[in-house]
Amino acid sequence: MSITVPNGTEKGVSEPQEMHIVLVAKEPERAYPALTLALGGVAMGRKVSVYATMSGLEVVKKHARPEEGITMSGMPPLEKFVRDAIASGVYVCACAPSADLLASMGITESNVIEGVKLEDVIGFLKNALPAAQKGGVVLFV
């Protein structure tokens, strides 16, 4: 289901502030906060992007059942967070220097969650640098 979340841009501000999150870990203690920030950012009306790389690539892999992926006691499966983030307009991508390297890390277009894009570092920088220049937030988790 495609969902458009209305932006919460305050009066007089033409564009929502952007938040770019780089996720380099798959441990629930880091991956959950990254996706919680992403959903929270959307709720606050911000434009949010998540770049998964290195161990963080595990977060964008799809599973037959979300419970087979990253989980944490008392929380929904992380795959639900990722799917809800994408459905609400968060740009989620898997980042590596090349498609071959991504494949060697077990990431192909066919095994990532629907809507996840494959990018390299330029794909990240071309969005994050202009955003930072305009007061956007870039976070490494």
Partner 1 sequence: MSEGGRTSGKNSSGEFDIKRIDTRGMVCPYPSFEAVRALSAALPGELIEILTDNEESALKSVPTVLGVRNVKCLVEAKEGYWVIRFSK
Give residues in contact with partner 1 (CB under 8 A). 3-6, 8-11, 36, 39-40, 42-45, 74-76, 84, 88
Smallest distance from partner 1 to CB 84, Å: 7
Side by side, the strands of the sheet bearing 91-95 are 117-119, 91-95, 47-52, 18-23, 137-140
Distance of CA 90 to the CA centre of its chain: 6
46/57 with CB nearer partner 1: 46
If you count DSSP H runs as helices and E runs as strands, how many of each does the chain have, helices first?
A: 4, 5
40/130 with CB nearer partner 1: 40
Distances, alpha carbon 101 to alpha carbons 70, 104, 123, 136, in Å: 22, 5, 16, 29
Smallest distance from partner 1 to CB 58, Å: 21
84/120 with CB nearer partner 1: 84
Smallest distance from partner 1 to CB 44, Å: 6
